[in-house]
């Protein structure tokens, strides 16, 4: 079974945290974990730890996935492969052919993080980030789902006033494999005056816009039936075309309220009145920027997962944070975004709703108990490292009553 938009269960497209706080459960020692269900389903997962804090957060998330499997009767097979800077050091390229092949042959792909200062001066084709772009292109995952929800437990960590941030629950639907990141022509050259120039091309075909627009409308239909398409149609022809196509697709979804907003205004409105948004649909570069902005409303980029899906084949699941090389190897990383990426993998990639809910509830329960990594810490809570945060989530997973169907 592979993740695809046809298989995506859109009955549950609210952000992973659109749940009531989990009740407190008695914790069990981590040392007595054992399988409670005979495996009846088997999935292969390609693990890409990547760089920086990626291996640390992936290690924790993998433990959570294995425990969930033992409790839910699911057997996971893992294949760990290099990507990004680690792949450059091992093979000389950011995406080895073997990594892409393994990813394509799996049921889902879980990524940690890529990049780091070590490779900043590499030529473009040898930068770690190129490995991620090539992976997305190779998997043909064009729809990126990035939820941003302000949790009651973390509302005071938001950079916005409590009355502005409280209750925010939005989903950014980002087109992932087109636009200026992939458009041609591109490069560095010389103009007619002999001056050196750099250039990129923002280009979209109608089918690329139509398919991501339908994803946006489907998700909005299952949320609050409000879709805001973000563009720059007052200046860019590519955005004018984007707006025309999204408006045309809207006729297929008469029950969804469509609005349009220029990207500069959207960036302002996200910090002025974020609760006005439910589902945001936008292109590759605008989605990249706006989803990072939205993450800070929630209290920290270390909390937010993402899912990237295509028409068929495995999906790619990753936290939206970077590799944070300045804290790598120091047990300071927040693993919750990667753990929640596992929940999205289970929900959207494998259709395992109950398993996903157990993870989401466990994260809420862990936060209810006051455990915080440094990026979300506030006075009165307990400061913990990456490993201990993971252990607390594992205890909360074990302490739950199995989720109802």
Tens-binned pLDDT, residue by residue, of the chain (405 aa): 344 454 444 434 444 433 333 333 333 333 334 445 667 899 999 999 999 999 999 999 999 999 999 999 999 999 999 999 999 999 999 999 999 999 999 999 999 999 999 999 999 999 999 999 999 999 999 999 999 999 888 988 888 999 999 999 999 999 999 999 999 999 999 999 999 999 999 999 999 999 999 999 999 999 999 999 999 999 999 999 999 999 999 999 999 999 999 999 999 999 999 999 999 999 999 999 999 888 888 877 788 999 999 999 999 999 989 999 999 999 999 999 999 999 999 998 999 999 999 999 999 999 999 999 999 988 899 999 999 999 999 999 998 765 444
The pLDDT score that the predictor gives to residue 264 is 98
Peptide bond into 291 cis (omega under 30): no
Closest CA to 147 of 288, 14, 57, 21: 14
What CA–CA distances, in Å, run from 64 to 221, 297, 384? 31, 27, 17
Q: Compute the chain's Rg from CA coordinates.
A: 21
Q: Which tokens belong to 282?
A: 């936008």
Instruction: Evaluate the CA torsion angle 217, 218, 219, 221 in order and state its sign.
Output: positive
Is 279 in contact with 222 (CB distance < 8 Å)? no
- According to DSSP, residue 223 is labeled T
Angle at 369 between CA 363 and CA 374, to 5 degrees: 75
| Beta-carbon contacts of residue 158 (< 8 Å; ≥ 6 apart) | 150, 164, 165, 296, 297, 298, 299
**332: annotated active-site residue:** no
Handedness of CA 404, 45, 56, 154 (dihedral sign): negative
Catalytic residue, chosen from 127, 232, 347, 395, is: 232
Three-state secondary-structure class, residue 263: helix
| Dist. CA 395–CA 393, nearest whole Å | 5
Domains and CATH numbers, the chain: 39-141+301-404 (3.40.718.10), 159-298 (3.40.718.10)
The answer to whether residues 150 and 299 touch, using CB atoms and an 8 Å cutoff, is yes
Q: How far apart are CA 104 and CA 283, in angstroms?
A: 25
Determine phi and psi for 258, rounding to 5 degrees: -105, 135
pLDDT of residue 1: 39
Q: Which two tokens stand for residue 219?
A: 């998700």
Shortest CA distance to 150 belongs to which of 132, 133, 170, 130? 170
Q: How far apart are CA 204 and CA 179, in angstroms?
A: 6
Structure tokens at 84: 């990004």
Catalytic residue among 156, 210, 292, 331: 292
Helices vs. strands in the chain: H and E counts, helices first = 12, 14
SS3 content of the chain, % helix, strand, coil (to 5): 45, 20, 35
Q: Which string of DSSP letters, residue by residue, matches 52-63? A: TTHHHHHHHHHH
The pLDDT value recorded for residue 34 is: 41
Identify the active-site residue in 181, 204, 253, 348.
181
| Residue 232 designated active-site | yes
Is residue 368 part of the annotated active site? The answer reads no
Q: Do residues 46 and 81 make contact, with C-beta atoms less than 8 angstroms apart?
A: yes
The answer to whether residues 361 and 400 touch, using CB atoms and an 8 Å cutoff, is: yes
Given 288, 332, 348, 395, the catalytic residue: 288
What's the pLDDT score for residue 296?
Answer: 83
Contacts of 365 (CB under 8 A, 6+ apart): 21, 22, 23, 24, 25, 396, 399, 400
The DSSP-derived string for 264-322 is HHHHHHHHH-GGG-SEEEE-HHHHHHHHHHHHHHTT-GGG-EEEEEESSS-EEEEESS-
* pTM, rounded to two decimals: 0.83
Give the Cα separation of 90 and 99 in Å (integer). Answer: 12
The pLDDT, as a whole number, for residue 12 is 42
List the catalytic residue out of 162, 264, 326, 382: 264
Note the pLDDT of residue 402: 57
Angstrom distances, CA of residue 13 to CA of 22, 31, 353: 19, 35, 11
pLDDT digits (tens, 9 = 90+) for 289-340: 999 888 888 877 788 999 999 999 999 999 989 999 999 999 999 999 999 9
154 within 8 A of 300, measured Cβ to Cβ: yes
Classify 108 as helix, strand or coil: strand
CA distance 372 to 393: 12
């Amino acid at each position: 079974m592979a993740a695809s938009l046809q298989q995506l269960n859109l009955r549950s497209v609210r952000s992973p945290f659109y749940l009531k706080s989990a009740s407190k459960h008695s914790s069990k020692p981590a040392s007595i974990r054992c399988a409670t269900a005979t495996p009846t389903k088997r999935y292969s997962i390609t693990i890409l730890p990547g760089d920086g804090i990626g291996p640390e957060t992936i290690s924790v998330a993998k433990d959570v996935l294995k425990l969930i499997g033992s409790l839910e009767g699911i057997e996971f097979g893992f294949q760990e492969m290099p990507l990004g800077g680690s792949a450059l050091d091992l093979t000389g390229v950011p995406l080895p052919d073997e990594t892409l092949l393994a990813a394509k042959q799996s049921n889902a792909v879980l990524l940690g993080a890529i990049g780091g200062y070590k490779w900043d001066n590499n030529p473009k084709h040898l930068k770690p980030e190129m490995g991620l772009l090539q992976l997305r292109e190779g998997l043909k995952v064009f729809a990126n789902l990035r939820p941003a929800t302000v949790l009651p437990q973390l509302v005071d960590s938001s950079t916005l006033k409590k009355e502005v941030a409280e209750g925010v629950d939005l989903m950014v639907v980002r087109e992932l494999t087109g636009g200026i990141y992939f458009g041609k022509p591109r490069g560095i050259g010389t103009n007619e005056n002999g001056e050196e120039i750099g250039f990129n091309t923002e280009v979209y075909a109608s089918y690329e816009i139509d398919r991501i627009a339908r994803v946006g409308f489907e998700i909005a239909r299952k949320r609050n039936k409000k879709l805001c398409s973000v563009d720059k149609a007052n200046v860019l022809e590519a955005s004018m075309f984007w707006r025309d196509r999204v408006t045309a697709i809207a006729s297929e979804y008469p029950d969804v309220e469509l609005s349009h907003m220029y990207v500069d205004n959207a960036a302002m409105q996200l910090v002025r009145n974020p609760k006005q948004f439910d589902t945001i649909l936008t292109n590759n570069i605008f989605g990249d920027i706006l989803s990072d902005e939205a993450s800070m409303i929630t209290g920290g980029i270390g909390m937010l997962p993402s899912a990237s899906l295509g028409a068929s084949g495995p999906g790619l699941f990753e936290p939206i944070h970077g590799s944070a090389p300045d804290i790598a190897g120091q047990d300071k990383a927040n693993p919750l975004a990667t753990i929640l990426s596992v929940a999205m993998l289970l929900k959207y990639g494998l259709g395992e709703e109950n398993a996903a809910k157990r993870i989401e509830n466990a994260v809420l329960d862990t936060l209810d108990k006051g455990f915080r990594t440094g990026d979300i810490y506030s006075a009165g809570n307990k400061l913990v490292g990456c490993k201990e945060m993971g252990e607390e989530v594992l205890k909360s997973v074990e302490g739950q009553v199995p989720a109802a169907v």
